Amino acid sequence: YMPPTKHMTGNIFKGHVQDALFNIVSTVTNQNIHLLGMMTEAIHTPFIHDRFLAIQNARYVFGTMKDLHSEIEFKRGGKIEQRAQEVLAQAETMLAEIEATGLPGAIGKGLFAEISRTPSGGKGLDGVIAKAPDYFNPFPELMLPTQGADHA
């Protein structure tokens, strides 16, 4: 589950509450993978302490509400069930479009989170610095066994 960060306002206090609500959604829907929201993410790249607060928030919510999902039943034919069916139908349509256009084409069309990234475009390229001819970084070879020698 990924919180819909496009709703973050830049108000860090409201954002922290929104993140707690997103954590509750993960708990109630019994998610096992959850992207934590950061209270300053709508303003700038989050500070390390913002990450710490996000982890504390999630631990608190996940710990205190860990069994809540097993106590909740949704009304048959109710708004939540109808919305779930609508989202499922949209997901099936989207997957069919992705299959037809291919993943790079789907990303270029902005099918994911309404953000378009074409294979030849994107953001941030101006800030990329070319590597010098004598550049050396030993870490990929040491840390990624598929790129270097066989390190166990």
Angstrom distance (rounded) from CA 35 to CA 141: 29
Q: Is the pLDDT assigned to residue 90 strictly greater than 90?
A: yes
The total domain count for the chain is: 2
- Give the tens place of pLDDT for each residue, 117-147: 877 776 666 667 788 899 998 888 888 766 5
- pLDDT computed for residue 60 by the predictor: 96
Residue 140 covered by a domain? no
Per-position DSSP letters for 85-135, written without gaps between them: HHHHHHHHHHHHHHHHH-HHHHHHTTTTTT----TT--S-GGG--PPPTT-
Considering the domain architecture, whether residues 60 and 83 belong to the same structural domain is answered as no
Residue 147 covered by a domain? no
Q: What is the mean pLDDT of the chain?
A: 85
What residues make up the domain containing 110?
Answer: 75-121
Considering the domain architecture, whether residues 27 and 61 belong to the same structural domain is answered as yes
Considering the domain architecture, whether residues 43 and 90 belong to the same structural domain is answered as no
Considering the domain architecture, whether residues 63 and 79 belong to the same structural domain is answered as no
Torsional sign, CA 37, 94, 104, 148: positive
Considering the domain architecture, whether residues 57 and 95 belong to the same structural domain is answered as no
Over residues 102-109, mean pLDDT: 90
Angstrom distance (rounded) from CA 22 to CA 28: 10
The number of C-alpha atoms within 13 Å of 98 and in the hemisphere containing its C-beta is: 12
Considering the domain architecture, whether residues 67 and 79 belong to the same structural domain is answered as no
- pLDDT computed for residue 32 by the predictor: 85
Angstrom distance (rounded) from CA 55 to CA 35: 10
Compute and round to an integer the Cα radius of gyration of the chain: 21
Residue 113 covered by a domain? yes
Residue 145 covered by a domain? no
- pLDDT computed for residue 66 by the predictor: 93
Angstrom distance (rounded) from CA 38 to CA 23: 12
